[in-house]
Amino acid sequence: MIELINVDKSYPNGVHALNQVSLKIEDGEFVYVIGATGSGKSTMIKLLNGEEVPDSGKILVNGCDVGALKHRKVPQYRRQIGCIFQDYRLLPRLTVYENIAFALEVVGMPKKQIRKRVREVLDLVDLQEKAKSYPDELSGGQQQRVTIGRAIANNPKLLIADEPTGNLDPEKSFEIIELLEKINRSINATIIMVTHDSVLVEKYKKRTIVLDNGYIVHDSSQGGYKSI
Ligand SMILES: Nc1ncnc2c1ncn2[C@@H]1O[C@H](COP(=O)(O)OP(=O)(O)OP(=O)(O)O)[C@@H](O)[C@H]1O
């Protein structure tokens, strides 16, 4: 479970990025975080993955008090989280296969197991035929599927997606969200997805948390886009 309790975060320039933010996300939920530019969405994600620490309040992720983690413990903590970004961030000199395998090598998985797991992941993201391709030989949607494969290779309990469809046309965006839904069901990962895409939010209705100026102004458990 994820719990934010009265979280405040400001930056050295005096901007209050998050104010008294409290929320609970149960295991296996798929949640959208929306809001205008500068409303605090990325800050919330950075707090969840340990990149930033709150000024006050508490952030609990599967029992771990993230804000209280020692600096050297953060990389280990982050291995439980899969991250998906708008700009993919694949390693350009590695093939699709190697990009996914790399995520498993860094956690010390034995080679034989890596081979098996990468095949399974390629199957899940439907990229078996592209295993030997390099990222620049793939379309945007395919690159995003590799990123998703890399993010889930290690069976994370939490998947954080920051504008995963930001660079894709609507049809490809639908494919990505349907893939994330499949992952949400098949490995029961909790998914938190930041998006600006009101069409997606309307079409694939889920719980939607709306941020405005660092405050949660709406949190629907029924889903649906709520304009602010
Ligand atoms: N490192 C930083 N130093 C100073 N101010 C920051 C920093 N990062 C973010 N901010 C400020 O904090 C506020 C929230 O920023 P944040 O990036 O969380 O918003 P966002 O909702 O993710 O925006 P966008 O949709 O544009 O990505 C903004 O006013 C932003 O300018």
208 and 173 in one domain? yes
Same domain, 1 and 76: yes
**Could you tell me if 218 and 110 lie in one domain?**
no
| 171-217: pLDDT as tens digits | 999 999 999 999 999 888 999 999 988 899 999 999 999 999 999 99
Assess whether 72 and 161 both reside in one domain.
Answer: yes
- 161 CA from centroid of ligand 1 (Å): 17
Q: Summarize pLDDT for 12-56 with one digit per residue, the tens.
A: 999 999 999 999 999 999 999 999 999 999 999 999 999 999 999
For residues 164 and 193, the answer to whether their CB atoms sit within 8 Å is: yes
Grade residue 141 by pLDDT with cuts at 50, 70 and 90: very high
Ligand 1 close to Cβ of residue 166 (< 6 A): no
Does the pLDDT value for residue 81 go beyond 90?
Answer: yes
Residues 129, 173 within the same domain: no
Choose which residue among 8, 9, 13, 15 to substitute to test ligand 1 binding: the one with the highest number of ligand atoms within 8 A of its C-beta. Answer: 15
145 and 169 within one domain: no
Instruction: Tell me if 179 sits within 8 A of 147, measured CB to CB.
Output: no
Q: Given this model, what pLDDT does residue 187 score? A: 86
Verify whether ligand 1 is closer than 6 Å to residue 9 (CB atom).
no
Percent of the chain with pLDDT over 70: 96
Q: How far is the CA of 37 from the centre of ligand 1 (A)?
A: 8
101 is in which domain, residue-wise?
A: 90-155
Ligand 1 near 39 CB (within 6 A): yes
**Is the distance from the beta carbon of residue 42 to the nearest atom of ligand 1 less than 6 Å?**
yes
Residue 108 predicted with pLDDT over 60: yes
* Interval between CA 139 and ligand 1 midpoint (Å): 29
Residue 222 shares a structural domain with residue 175: yes
Q: Report if residue 42 sits inside a domain.
A: yes
Query: Does 85 fall in a domain?
Result: no
The pLDDT value recorded for residue 87 is 87
**Average pLDDT of the chain, as a whole number:** 93
27/65 same-domain check? yes
Q: Is the CB of 43 under 6 A from ligand 1?
A: yes
Same domain? 73 vs 95: no
Please indicate whether residue 195, judged by its CB atom, sits closer than 6 Å to ligand 1.
no
> Rounded to two decimals, what is the model's pTM?
0.93
pLDDT exceeds 90 at position 227:
no
Which of 155, 171, 198 represents a domain boundary (last residue)? 155
Asked if residue 224 has pLDDT above 60, the reply is: no
Nearest residue by C-alpha to atom 25 in ligand 1: 37
Under 8 Å CB-to-CB from 92, ≥6 apart: which residues?
134, 135, 136
Residue of minimum CA distance from atom 18 in ligand 1: 40
Same domain, 64 and 98: no
Task: Tell me the CATH number at 222.
Answer: 3.40.50.300
Measured in Å, residue 47 CA sits from the centre of ligand 1 at: 12
Q: Domain check: are 151 and 163 in the same one?
A: no
The answer to the question of residue 31 being in a domain is yes
